[in-house]
């Protein structure tokens, strides 16, 4: 997919801007956890499968700072620290038995950069300390993730199925058991742009809709170096998303905000 990365820290959501917008569009925020389908909750920028006790996170793109250095751009290294803090905040609320990274754990396509070796292994160690099993799903940026997964004997798969859930990265259509009811993908880095008076801001969001009569949930990027790809401006990357107009949009800040359907968004 196209790069939607920037070179400075992103504040995930400007709460004051959201609150001003809510006055005009009559949206009531929910608390930190919000159930969007039976057994599926939004928890910060991740999904929580309640019965299965599985946490699903997507698109961390660790090592992007190292790739910037290769191009001659030098910025303070905060990506891993922010990711660890973000995951740590979630783990104070829930105690998963399994954690799934649904693709693009690392960033560089063609090799494993030194920073990727270091940061991926540090994150893997942290996650393994906080769950019984860690599962890595291969994304389109993860062509060389195998050696890193092998270092910690972590399972690396193309997709993962449990009960009524099917999890994959979302860059390619996978063969799915007809009995599956829920599909979870990343890859899209969904975000929306909202205008407030004379300024506009971009907010990471979850998307919920249908794909061939199955529920489909799209997870935003957990990468703090990215503010996401606007679903109205950038175009759609995943083949699971031929038409977003009837998808529900959930923006995450200190709380979860249900913004209704894509076709009804107050955007311009």
The model's pLDDT over 18-49, given as tens digits with 9 standing for 90+, comes to 555 544 444 444 546 899 999 999 999 999 99
Mean pLDDT on 158-180? 96
Which CATH number goes with the domain that contains 123?
A: 3.60.21
Q: How many domains does the chain have?
A: 1
Does residue 84 sit within a domain?
Answer: yes
**Strongest mean pLDDT among 11-15, 26-30, 150-154:** 150-154
Q: To which H or E segment does residue 20 belong?
A: helix 15-25
Instruction: Give the pLDDT score at 110.
Output: 67
Contact 192, 234 (CB under 8 A): no
Does residue 241 sit within a domain?
Answer: yes
Does residue 86 sit within a domain?
Answer: yes
Q: What single DSSP character describes residue 203?
A: E
Q: Average pLDDT over the chain, rounded to whole?
A: 84
Q: How many residues does the chain have?
A: 268
| Separation of alpha carbons 29 and 71, rounded Å | 42
Q: What percent of the chain has pLDDT over 90?
A: 57
> For 106, phi and psi rounded to 5 degrees?
-115, 170
Whether pLDDT at 245 is above 80: yes
Whether pLDDT at 132 is above 60: yes
Which range among 65-74, 134-143, 216-225 shows the weakest confidence by mean pLDDT?
A: 65-74
Name residues whose C-beta falls within 8 Å of residue 128's C-beta, 6 or more positions apart in sequence. Answer: 134, 152, 154
Q: Per residue in 63-101, is it b (16+ CB within 10 Å) or e — as a string? A: bbbbbbeeeeeeeeeebbeebeebbeebbeebebebbbb
- CA distances in angstroms from 26 to 36, 227, 253, listed in the order given: 19, 25, 17
Does residue 7 sit within a domain?
Answer: no
**Strongest mean pLDDT among 159-168, 235-244, 259-268:** 159-168
Does residue 47 sit within a domain?
Answer: yes
Does residue 1 sit within a domain?
Answer: no
Contact 204, 252 (CB under 8 A): yes
Does residue 77 sit within a domain?
Answer: yes
Mean pLDDT on 7-21? 44
Whether pLDDT at 196 is above 80: no
Instruction: Tell me which residue range forms the domain holding 62.
Output: 15-27+34-264
Does residue 5 sit within a domain?
Answer: no
Q: Which of 60, 66, 169, 187 is nearest to 117 (CA)?
A: 66
pLDDT tier at 114, thresholds 50, 70, 90: confident
Q: What SS3 class is residue 239?
A: coil
């Amino acid at each position: 997919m196209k790069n939607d990365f920037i070179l400075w820290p992103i504040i995930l959501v400007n709460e004051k801007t959201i609150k001003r917008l809510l006055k005009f569009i009559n949206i009531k925020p929910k608390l930190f956890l919000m159930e969007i389908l039976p057994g599926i909750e939004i928890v910060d920028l991740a999904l929580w499968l309640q019965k299965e006790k599985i946490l699903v996170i997507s698109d961390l793109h660790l090592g992007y700072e190292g790739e910037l250095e290769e191009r001659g751009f030098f910025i303070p290294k905060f990506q891993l620290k922010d990711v660890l803090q973000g995951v740590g905040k979630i783990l104070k609320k829930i105690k998963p038995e399994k954690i799934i990274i649904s693709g693009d754990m690392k960033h560089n396509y063609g090799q494993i950069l030194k920073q990727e070796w270091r940061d991926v292994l540090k994150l893997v160690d942290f996650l393994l300390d906080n769950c019984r099993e860690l599962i890595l799903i291969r994304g389109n940026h993860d062509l060389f993730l195998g050696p890193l997964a092998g270092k910690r004997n972590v399972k690396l798969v193309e997709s993962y199925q449990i009960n009524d859930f099917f999890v994959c990265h979302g860059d390619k259509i996978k063969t799915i058991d007809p009995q599956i009811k829920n599909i979870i993908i990343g890859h899209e880095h969904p975000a929306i742009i909202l205008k407030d008076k004379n300024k506009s801001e971009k907010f990471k969001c979850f998307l919920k809709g249908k794909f061939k009569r199955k529920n489909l949930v799209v997870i935003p990027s957990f990468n703090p170096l990215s503010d996401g790809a606007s679903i109205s401006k950038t175009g759609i990357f995943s083949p699971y998303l031929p038409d977003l107009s009837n998808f529900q949009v959930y923006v995450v800040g200190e709380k979860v905000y249900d913004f209704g359907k894509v076709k009804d968004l107050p955007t311009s």
